[in-house]
Homo-oligomer: A and B are copies of this chain.
Amino acid sequence: MSKKNTLRDQIEEAILSGKFSPGERLEEKVLAEQYGVSRTPVREALRQLHETGLVEVRERRGTVVRENSPTELVNMFEMMAGLEFLAVRLATRHMTEDDRARIQAAHEACRTARDIGTDAYYYENEAFHQALYRASGNPFLEQQATALHRRLQPYRRLQLRSINRVSQSFEEHEAIVAALFAGDAEGAGNAVWNHVAIQADNFRVLFPNG
């Protein structure tokens, strides 16, 4: 693989795992020495991280790890809810047999993971949502929704550690699946909206000053 891609993954991992804290300056020279490459691939990696929203690049003023204010996070979760709402509405119409099977399988995997632990559950949870996006039959939507979901992933985990809502989440999944498989577009849409939007509300609770 090219250096810029491995670099991107490494830096991304470092940010998500907290090695670089929000607001911290990322100097090209330092990173280059740290990873044993020149500034060129570092620059490209940072631009790619900018695309995904992890860092902020300011003209001639360097790159910093982006700090998302609680308000921004709420906004992003709100958009996430909108995308999922759209995806399941489309899915009730366009879903194939394969899509149905994938959703069912992912849902069952969540059921199993529920009793193992939160990390296991949230791993399967990602797969479940991915299956929903795919079932929309709209690859563009699928890609955008996946990107946003991934961007929000660390905050979902954060939430999780504060509020144990694994079993509640799973019940919400059940409601979504039931309505979806029954062809109830209205019900499925509302169920998934609530499932995602509640996370935005939780953030308002975690950061009341947001």
Contact = CB atoms under 8 A, between A and B. Distances in A.
Q: Number of copies of this chain in the oligomer?
A: 2
A182 B96 CA distance: 39
Contacts of A86: 78-79, 82, 85-86
A108 to B, nearest CB: 28
Contact of A140 (B43, B59, B75): B75
Given A51-B51, A59-B2, A86-B85, A78 B138 contact: yes
Interface residues of A, number: 23
B82 A82 contact: yes
The listed residue with most B CB atoms (<10 A of its CB), out of A51, A75, A141, is A75
Given A59-B2, A85-B86, A79 B47 contact: no
A139 interface: yes
Interface in A138-163: 138-141, 144
Contacts of A83: 82
Contacts of A90: 78
Across the A-B interface, the 9 shortest Cβ-Cβ residue pairs = A82-B86, A75-B140, A75-B138, A79-B141, A51-B51, A76-B140, A47-B47, A78-B138, A79-B140
Interface of A: 2, 43-44, 47-48, 51, 59-60, 72, 75-76, 78-79, 82-83, 85-86, 90, 138-141, 144
